[in-house]
Amino acid sequence: MSEKNSNADTESVQSNTIECLNISEKRVGFFVTCLVNTMRPSVGFASITLLEQAGCNVEVPELQSCCGQPAFNSGDDEGTRQVAYQTIEQFENFDYVVLPSGSCAGMIKKNFVEVFKDDSEWLQRAQNLADKTYELLSFLVDVCNFEPENVEFEGSYTYHDSCSGYRSLGVYEQPRKMLSKVKGLDHNPLNGHSECCGFGGTFCVKYSDISNEIVAEKTENVLATEADYLLGGDMGCLMNIAGKLNREGHTEIEALHTAEVLAGLATEIVGAKNARK
């Protein structure tokens, strides 16, 4: 399905803009996520830069941990609850909780309540946290009405919409709206932009053969765009697609988190990568 033919599909996932006045008076708790912390810290720095540019008062709790998704996806509800207890305690006193990942944001926003359905006290605390949890790109647009200024990045990009961000959280127009403000950057639409990349957390480990077939189709569509850069809002998806491209010897396209581009860090990141080649 091409982006040109997906208008009806995207209408159902687009979220309404929420006007947020005096955002500087609100405390924003930034949830780093495991992959950003261990594999791509630049996404975290870029995210905080953008939130501060949007006028937010950002804090990063030191005792935060995993969102619990690996345990949840494996059917370990008790293990998920143990992780959720800490996450709720660390973040429930913030006005907003923001994550640079639709997958992790979806876990807190949609799935915490499932594992606490038989515990009324923690169910309410989980719901309260869910109500103020946002994926980064949707938060910047829908809550902060943010637009990047004076950002330049030459080249063309294609965009992969992650399953959780697109289907669960309605993230579609927001990143494209902000990227349209980046000088020198053109958009090459991706066929199957919202189709799964094959990562799926533990799915790619349990069903590696199926996962490989799915990502093979995704990389074929990415290469067909002839874009210089693959952008997205989830590091799991980006690492999976980039890994497949690299294994097949395709070095002509770079994968970047959208936050890195919007924060003006992309040129430096790409330059550092090229220097290591």
Residue-wise pLDDT tens digits, 228-248: 999 999 999 999 999 999 999
What is the phi/psi pair of residue 100, to 5°? -85, 45
Which SS3 state, helix, strand or coil, does residue 232 take?
strand
Task: State residue 139's pLDDT score.
Answer: 98
Task: State residue 44's pLDDT score.
Answer: 98
Task: State residue 150's pLDDT score.
Answer: 96
Q: Report how far residue 84's alpha carbon sits from residue 128's, in angstroms, rounded to the nearest whole number.
A: 13
Q: Which of 229, 273, 238, 235 is nearest to 105 (CA)?
A: 235
Distance of alpha carbon 133 from its chain centroid, rounded?
A: 13
Domains of the chain: 15-142 (3.40.50), 148-276 (3.40.50.11810)
Residues of the chain with confidence (pLDDT) below 50: 1-20
pLDDT digits (tens, 9 = 90+) for 21-74: 578 789 999 999 999 999 999 999 999 999 999 999 999 999 999 999 999 999
Task: State residue 276's pLDDT score.
Answer: 73
pTM of this structure: 0.89
Task: State residue 11's pLDDT score.
Answer: 41
Q: Which of 57, 47, 102 is nearest to 264 (CA)?
A: 47
Q: Report how far residue 12's alpha carbon sits from residue 21's, in angstroms, rounded to the nearest whole number.
A: 26
b/e code 58-74 from CB counts within 10 Å (16+ = b): beebeebebbbbbbbbe
Task: State residue 21's pLDDT score.
Answer: 52
Residue pair 135/102 in contact (Cβ under 8 Å)? The answer is: yes
Distances (CA, A) of 16 to 13, 66, 121: 10, 29, 30
